[in-house]
Amino acid sequence: MQAIADRVEIEALRAEFSDAAMMRDNDRIASLYTEDGVYRIPAVHIEQSGREAIRAGTELHAGQWEYFVQTTHAGAVQLDGDTATGRAYICELGRLNDGRSVFNYALFHDRYRRTTEGWKFAERIYEVRYFDTTPLTGSPEVIWDVDDTVRS
């Protein structure tokens, strides 16, 4: 039963990360890491160590987006007592403040640690598998009429 509970908590942690990113809640993102947690994006030489560096880096990154959408899809989890490893699959799209569009599929290579506050990220390594900058034609705001027709 403990293994099932651990897996559910880790899935909730991964979902909480995407929710915090979508809500631009930089403090919450930082709180999802252990005190010595690390966030890395090797392709662009980003490495943030510790909650404060992760919070500051997230704030800087979030400020560059007009809008941003991230979804997390379940991946693998291997439990080992109070630690675990896993992968989470990510789909992201958005438009930067300078008008550039981004659409990508990526994955996080994760290390998790059980703490007194529950499961936290000890390390997240971001790896892009597909990247597209074709201009997005949609809008971050859509209003639905009562009769379910879209108007902008």
pLDDT at 107 over 90: yes
Residue 40 lies in a domain: yes
**Cβ(46)–Cβ(56) under 8 Å?**
no
Which residues, in sequence order, are CB contacts of 32 under 8 Å at separation 6+? 13, 16, 17, 20, 120, 121
Q: Residue 144: pLDDT band by 50, 70, 90 thresholds?
A: low
Give the CATH number for residue 70. 3.10.450.50
The string of pLDDT tens digits covering residues 6-21 is 999 999 999 999 999 9
Total of domains in the chain? 1
The model carries a pTM of 0.89
Sign of CA dihedral 109, 9, 55, 35: negative
* Cα–Cα distance measured from residue 58 to residue 149, given in angstroms and rounded to the nearest whole number: 36
Could you tell me the residue range of the domain that residue 127 belongs to?
Answer: 2-138
- Residue 47 in tokens: 């490495």
Asked whether residue 86 is assigned to any structural domain, the reply reads yes
Whether residue 145 is contained in a domain is answered as no
Report the alpha-carbon distance of residue 58 to residue 121 in Å, rounded. Answer: 15
Which two structure tokens, joined as six digits, stand for 137? 């034609």
- 112 domain-assigned: yes
